[in-house]
Amino acid sequence: MIEIVAPQIEEYAQAHTSPQDPLLEGVASATRQGLGDWQMMVGAVEGRLLETLVFLTSARTVLEIGTFSGYSALSMARALPDGGQMVTCEIDPRHAVVARQNFAASPYAGKIELMEGPALATVRSLPGPFDVVFIDADKSGYRDYYEAVLPKLSPRGVIAIDNTLWSGRILDAEDTSEDTVALRAFNDDLVADPRVVVTMLTVRDGVTLVRQR
């Protein structure tokens, strides 16, 4: 594994990003204590980035693929205007229970609909369009998720894709694990896709932003 950004810089960036509100602090703390795979949760800086994307795009419709404990969904929901709506997809029943509890305890419960089950089936059942899409689920499925959501992206919409630097493992030619190989191929194909404009950011574990060309 490679340190994408020096820990001191990560700490400085977090210290100079508006802090989490008590709601998200509580979700983050409970996630770390209650879920063994808590590292799947986006961090405070990435949460603020997602919130800002929703704000800058004036999004009214948001789609998330991969809910986990609900931290990222809540980050985006707080930037949704009155009448805005988010659909978040989760396949793990245990994570869905935790996320629903976190949503219910928040002021944003009326803006978030959690749909449990395979995300591709859910996405195909939704009409769209979506102003912001956040993909943060099984890495081998990224290509299918991307192809499913791109036609449903609004004209000025943005797709944010998490973990695209994969702790630097995408640079390790000896790493032939399924997720690494899938991400490596996905990143290469994405930047060559003539339909879109792509920006890869070194935020946390890599966040790639995509808009239609």
What pTM value is reported for the model?
A: 0.96
Three-state DSSP class for residue 195: coil
φ/ψ region of 66 (left if φ > 0, alpha if ψ in -120 to 50, else beta) reads left
Q: Which two tokens stand for residue 88?
A: 């978040």
Domain of 92, in residue numbers: 7-212
Count of domains in the chain?
1
Asked if residue 1 belongs to a domain, the reply is no
Q: What's the confidence (pLDDT) of residue 1? A: 66
Q: How does pLDDT run across 191-208, given as a tens digit for each residue?
A: 999 999 999 999 989 999
Three-state DSSP class for residue 173: coil
Asked if residue 153 belongs to a domain, the reply is yes
Asked if residue 41 belongs to a domain, the reply is yes
Asked whether the predicted pLDDT for residue 13 surpasses 70, the reply is yes
Q: What's the CATH code of the domain at 208?
A: 3.40.50.150
Q: How does pLDDT run across 77-116, given as a tens digit for each residue?
A: 999 999 999 999 999 999 999 999 999 999 999 999 999 9
Q: How confident is the model at residue 184 (pLDDT cuts 50, 70, 90)?
A: very high
Asked if residue 177 belongs to a domain, the reply is yes
Phi and psi angles of residue 68, each rounded to the nearest 5 degrees, phi first = 55, -125
Asked if residue 2 belongs to a domain, the reply is no
> Of 182, 169, 124, 174, whose CA–CA distance to 151 is shortest?
124
Element (H, E) at 55: helix 44-56
